[in-house]
Chain A
Amino acid sequence: MLRADQLKIADLPEVSFEVGDGELMSLEGPSGSGKTRIARALADLEPSSGHIFVNGAERRETPAPEWRKLVRYVSAEPGWWTDTPREALSPDPSTQSAVIGLMENLGLFPELLDKPVSVLSTGERQRLALVRAFADDPPVLILDEPTSALDNRNANLVEDLLTSRLAAGKSIILISHDPEQIVRMADLRLQLAPDREPGTRNQDPPDHKNLPESPTSPTASAK
């Protein structure tokens, strides 16, 4: 569960919302309405006032590195700091096995882990960034245009993965350029502009909770 109380970033209008376990909220609005800044502020990457809670933990009372293990932000253009994706991953064995499962879910061959990041396609890098972000199973995922560089087939794989995460009780905030994807995925929709009606219920919410747990998802039974 993620709750934002009177979250305010610089000159942007204040927002409050709550995303329950297994719920996905879309963050919508035209360019410049502050979608990305709100997403970043939730992971405490951008200074903001107000309170943010995750399962009872409050942002300011949680050390920032710990907070970002609870609220995982994946940017639209994820950065890499190593030569190969493998070096950027935790050597922890449980993470390693989660990585293999996630890569399978997203249609990525394990060999990609040892290729230079610079030769990977934008789509491969984007999906590997999701693998990296999901590997330690954070309870809240903030995804900024996670399918912007993907074709339909791969975008569907990402949506399936998100659905399995929701079934496992995670909370997701999604920024998407694809209105149909929002209709398919969102339980809640936060409109930042022009009309700001925080947390309007989706008219026809998908029922993630009745979906069977994905067998290929390595951590779906964690909850």
Chain B
Amino acid sequence: MTYVSLDISDLALAATLMLINGAVSWTFALGLERTLLINTVRMTVQLALIGIVLKWIFLQTSPVWTVALALVMVLVAGYEIVSRLTWRPKGISAYLLGSGTLLFVGTLATAFAIVGIIGPEPWYQPRYVLPILGMVLGNAMTGISLTVSTLLETANRERTAIEARLTLGADRFTALGGTLRLALKTGLMPILNAMAASGIVSIPGMMTGQILAGLDPIEATKYQIMIMFLIAGATALGVVIAGYAAVMLVTDARHRLRLDRLHAAKPS
């Protein structure tokens, strides 16, 4: 496997494309210059750091370090879920909900792929575990944050309708049934759309990477199909768990709607 290596000047050339973003922001007075600069630096530094960290972890090939980095990824993704919510549960419950759900579905999907399908020796080889976990987390995170934010926003907007059902004797899952269905559907849309478009409209990132690195496109495709199934399964499980957890969070054991447990937040 051979590929053309990039050096710093190649990256600098690519970075000039950010000037287009700057020009757009300036021309249309979008006021995004500062955000653009910060996010460009963030992206570059984050990716450079993860490159260094991954290189070091790949050299260790130790189960402890693999699991430690996996946990960090889960926590950061859980934090990211909460930061996307406009209506946010007070305290740490939202973080527990986000990270807890991701830990469960991330572990399950990755273990399924590593132990059940790929079977690398030893199982904790970071070059398999971490990219697969990363892709599962990234997609499940999107689905879960959409589900939870839709559920909490709809519960706020539809408060009188939900309480009308409660007053007539509905339990909390019945009263929030329509809200939960809408939230689950919203959370599942991105992965369903991605499945419909991938291969024709877009060639997914991992497959692109493998092909660039010289892997046979057929082999890369097989990996990609497996990953899509993993992501779809993990996202479906994740949105259902998070959706039910969010219903529990916004109601109490006396089947009351508890919007007082939320506060309005500016999503980042």
Residues on A facing B (Cβ under 8 Å):
43-47, 64-66, 68-69, 72-75, 77-81, 88, 129, 132-133, 136
Contacts and interface: CB of A to CB of B under 8 A. Distances in A.
29 contacts: A44-B256, A45-B163, A45-B256, A45-B257, A46-B256, A64-B255, A64-B256, A65-B166, A65-B169, A65-B171, A68-B166, A72-B167, A73-B167, A75-B163, A75-B164, A77-B160, A78-B160, A79-B158, A79-B159, A79-B160, A79-B162, A79-B163, A80-B164, A81-B178, A88-B164, A129-B164, A132-B168, A133-B167, A133-B168
Contacts of B257: 45
A132 B165 CA distance: 10
Nearest to A60: B254
Interface residues of B, number: 20
A44 B164 contact: no
Contacts of A75: 160, 163-164, 167
B181 to A, nearest CB: 12
Contacts of B171: 64-65
What are the 6 A-B residue pairs with the smallest beta carbon separation, nearest first? A79-B160, A79-B161, A64-B255, A81-B161, A79-B164, A69-B169
B170 interface: yes
B162 A74 contact: no
Given A44-B256, A47-B256, A81-B178, A68 B161 contact: no
Contacts of B163: 45, 75, 79
Interface of B: 158-171, 178, 252, 254-257
A65 B163 CA distance: 12
Contacts of A81: 158, 161-162, 164-165, 178
Given A45-B256, A45-B257, A68 B169 contact: yes
A68 B167 contact: yes
Given A44-B256, A64-B256, 9 more contacts: A45-B167, A46-B256, A64-B166, A65-B166, A78-B164, A79-B159, A81-B164, A129-B164, A132-B168
B160 A65 contact: no
Contacts of B167: 43, 45, 68, 72-75, 133
Nearest to B175: A81
Contacts of B158: 79, 81
B171 to A, nearest CB: 5
Contacts of A44: 254, 256
A79 B164 CA distance: 6
A80 B161 CA distance: 5
Nearest to B160: A79
A65 B178 CA distance: 18
A81 B170 CA distance: 13
Contacts of A73: 167
B110 to A, nearest CB: 40
B164 A45 contact: no
Contacts of A79: 158-164
A47 B252 CA distance: 10
A48 to B, nearest CB: 10
A65 B251 CA distance: 13
Contacts of B178: 81
A4 B179 CA distance: 33
Contacts of A77: 160
Nearest to B251: A64
Contacts of B164: 75, 78-81, 88, 129
A80 B255 CA distance: 18
B178 to A, nearest CB: 6
A129 B254 CA distance: 23
A188 B167 CA distance: 24
B166 A45 contact: yes
A46 B257 CA distance: 8
Nearest to B174: A65
Contacts of B254: 44, 47, 64
A12 to B, nearest CB: 15
